């Protein structure tokens, strides 16, 4: 047993581990470097949207490459190397501690999907895990001073449109006319409201996620600015450096960051994943679909 462990944790294994950790952190460091290079000097606290790095001329209209797009790709690259790191050295006979963590996470995600979507959607576990991981890490970028992509409606709106396409795809499983008939349920006069509700789904998902993350960032900035002014008013008459030192900004913004940047970001990632599962599973007419498969099987036999 000891010889097996020594073989697995040799210098080559550790070198690959170190390389994967560096490659996982490198995209975030690159994002910080871009932020420093493209951010002009400022005299105070500013509230602004995603910065435009450059623009690509396209046939229909120019395509701006923004801070939120770049940071989204940086998060994706970091997640890719994180997955490689977590799965490095996996073994059926001698599992590592990280393998136990990964297996526990996979089991919990599968259980979450099974409890909320049913056995038919067991294969959705990787998709749901990807949504939660991307959303959570995108929101947590504020901890290193980067613009969170979840504060950009275009990014979260793209996720919501993808979910809407999946919802519509599973509603079409029983055919086009069955899909149209679903708008007349439970009663026909509710059809206009059902149509509005259909297209309101991605809008509500996008605005809920985007609004919560953006509002948290704005509140944190406003409170920090107010504390700076209040500190200057109270302690401004102290001699020397003490008069300009922002005493009230020590600790309080950090507490707000714990809630708005960490707790709220993780909570919104979980809520977005939950809404994705519930909307897709509730829109899928599973009983009618199974009945349709039975009719097809009987027709094939006859």
* pLDDT at residue 189, as a whole number: 79
* pLDDT at residue 48, as a whole number: 65
Neighbours of 106 (CB within 10 A): 13
Question: What is d(CA 278, CA 113) in angstroms, rounded to the nearest whole number?
Answer: 10
* pLDDT at residue 236, as a whole number: 67
Lookup: tokens for 202: 């991605």
* pLDDT at residue 108, as a whole number: 92
Lookup: tokens for 301: 């036999």
Q: Can you tell me which residue has the tokens 């994967």?
A: 20
* pLDDT at residue 264, as a whole number: 82
* Beta partners for residue 65, in sequence order: 54
Closest by CA to 212, choosing from 260, 145, 284, 172, is: 260
Helix (H) or strand (E) holding 66: strand 63-66
Ordered mean pLDDT values, 10 residues apiece, the chain (302 residues) = 54 88 93 83 62 86 88 93 89 84 91 89 90 91 85 90 91 84 80 86 87 77 74 70 63 69 85 91 84 82 74
């Amino acid at each position: 047993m000891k010889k097996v462990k020594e073989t697995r944790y040799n210098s080559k294994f550790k070198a690959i581990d170190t390389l994967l950790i560096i490659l996982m952190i490198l995209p975030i460091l690159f994002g910080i470097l871009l932020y420093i290079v493209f951010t002009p000097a400022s005299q105070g606290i500013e509230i602004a949207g995603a910065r435009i790095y450059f623009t690509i001329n396209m046939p229909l209209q120019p395509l701006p490459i923004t801070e939120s797009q770049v940071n989204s790709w940086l998060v994706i690259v970091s997640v890719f190397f994180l997955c490689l790191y977590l799965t490095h050295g996996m073994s059926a006979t001698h599992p590592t501690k990280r393998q136990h963590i990964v297996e526990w996470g996979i089991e919990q995600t599968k259980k979450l999907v099974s409890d909320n979507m049913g056995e038919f959607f067991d294969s959705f576990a990787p998709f749901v895990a990807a949504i939660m991981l991307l959303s959570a890490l995108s929101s947590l970028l504020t901890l290193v001073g980067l613009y969170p992509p979840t504060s950009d409606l275009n990014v979260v709106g793209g996720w919501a449109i993808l979910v809407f396409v999946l919802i519509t795809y599973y509603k079409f499983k029983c055919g086009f006319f069955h899909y149209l008939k679903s708008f007349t349920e439970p009663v026909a006069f509710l059809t206009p409201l059902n149509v509005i509700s259909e297209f309101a789904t991605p809008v509500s998902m996008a605005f809920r996620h985007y609004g919560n993350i953006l509002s948290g960032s704005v509140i944190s900035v406003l409170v920090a600015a107010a504390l700076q002014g209040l500190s200057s008013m109270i302690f401004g008459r102290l001699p020397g450096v003490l008069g300009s030192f922002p005493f009230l900004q020590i600790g309080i913004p950090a507490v707000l960051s714990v809630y708005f940047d960490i707790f709220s970001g993780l909570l919104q990632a979980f809520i977005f994943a939950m809404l994705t599962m519930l909307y897709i599973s509730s829109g899928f007419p599973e009983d009618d679909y199974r009945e349709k498969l039975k009719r097809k099987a009987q027709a094939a036999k006859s």
